[in-house]
Structure formats: C-alpha cells, structure tokens
Amino acid sequence: MRAARRALLLAAAMGGTGLLAERLRPQRFLADEQARLPLAGLMPDHFGSWTRDPSVAPLLPNPQQQQVLADTYDEVLALSFRNAARQLVMLSLAYGRNQHKGMLVHRPEICYPAQGFRLEQDVVDATVALDDGPLPLKRLVASQGRRHEPISYWVVVGDTLTAFGYPHRWVALRYGLQGLIPDGVLVRVSSLNTDNAEGFALQAAFIREWARALSPAARLRLLGRGHG
C-alpha cells in the first residue's frame, strides 16, 4: 500500500513539474509586442561618403544555404556600398522572428565554408569605436580562389548586443523568464581586400558612418541597446 502511495505521489509530482514547465515556457513573441519596420525601411541609400551600388551583389548562397536561410530567417537583406574612392563594402542583414530557430548556422565561420570557402583567419574579437562607445564584434577572413574576403559581424537578440554561445543563450533566457521569445538580427560587413588590415579599417570606417546615419529605432534594432 505504501509503495502504491509513493508511486501515486511521484506521478503527481512529475505531472505538476510538467505543468509548471509548460506554464513557464515562453508563449509570446517579442516581435509581436512592438512595431517593426522591414529591414529595407531601416537602411539609408546614401550616408557620409557612401552610396548604395545596386550593381554589386554580396555573396549569394548556394541552393542548400538558401533553403537554410529560408527556414531560419524571416527576412534577409544584402546591399553593397561604395565610397567616394570607389572602395566597396558589402552589408548583409538577417532577421529572425524567433532567434531560437537556428541562427547559429548562419555564422560566417559556418556558412562560408559550407559554400566552399576556406577560413584564412580564425574568428577573433574586435571593437569599432562609435560616437557613443565601442561596438564589440567578431572578425574572420575567408577566401575562395581569387576572392579574399575579410568579414566583420555581430548579433543583436531583442534589443541586446551579444555574442553567439553562452552570452546568446543567457540573453534568450532573460527574455524567456519574462515569457517572451526574442527575435534577433545578424549583421555582417565584408569587403574584398588582399590586405586584411586595410579591409578591416575600411569596414570600421563604413560602420561608423553607417551608424551615424541610422534612425534611433534602426540603431536599437541593428546595434542593440547602448548604441540606440
């Protein structure tokens, strides 16, 4: 009889735990709690010394990668810009309404090798000095044939600038404790330079002028809190 009671109590406890977990599972999308402009609506065509060049497309994904993007992100925008000296910088934005939905697979250190690129330099931490403080980001270098591409990128979850891995999961957990499923955006800036230092300096100059031209709402969306 006591064994039966213990089994009944254990079953009740397990059922209660399951119900509690279900109640604590985030149910609301952060994206539904606030107005969100399409990515193209956040982007100026001209700023500082830079002008959009529609004749140049950033790296186009192969069909397999294109399917991954479609399954992971709700919106992707790829643009190219040239400065007064005709130097080229490519900008890619990938937005996901549910950042839990596989954003990790689109990190450049994963998606570039998946398209036949070789990583010439491992991912390193770096910062770009903006008017309101440093912007932490990641840098790496990928190459394929004669194409040599220094790359800078960062990720914003909700309105928080973070990094992939534990920081990313911690930010998502903080939103989850509020009952929210956060959205996220991955920002990638790259250029075609055989000199890595020159490429990253060009990208830093682009990011600074681009950040100055963004509206407060766009800065919050694309650079995170502290840069909004």
Strand partners, 98: none
Residue 180 contacts residue 144 (beta carbons within 8 Å): no
- Mean pLDDT over all residues of the chain? 82
The C-alpha atoms of residue 54 and residue 97 are separated, in whole angstroms, by: 27
For residue 38, name the pLDDT band (cuts at 50, 70, 90). Answer: confident
Task: Tokens 């766009």: give the residue.
Answer: 218
Instruction: Indicate whether this model's pTM tops 0.85.
Output: no
d(CA 44, CA 219): 12
Whole-number Å distance between alpha carbons of 126 and 35: 32
Other C-beta atoms lying within 10 Å of the C-beta of residue 54 = 8
What confidence tens digit (pLDDT) does each residue in 177-188 have?
Answer: 889 888 889 999
How many other C-beta atoms are found inside a 10 Å radius of the C-beta of residue 144?
14
Nearest 5°: phi and psi at 195? -100, 110
CA distance 48 to 91: 16
Determine what percent of the chain is predicted with pLDDT higher than 70. 75
d(CA 202, CA 118): 22
**Cβ distance 228 to 220 under 8 Å?**
yes
61-82 average pLDDT score: 74
Is pLDDT at 112 greater than 70 in this prediction?
yes
Read off the pLDDT of residues 139-161 as tens digits, 9 standing for 90 and up.
999 999 999 999 999 999 988 89
Highest averaged pLDDT of the listed ranges 60-64, 115-119, 177-181: 115-119
Pairwise pLDDT comparison (170 vs 118), residue with the higher score: 118
d(CA 183, CA 31): 6
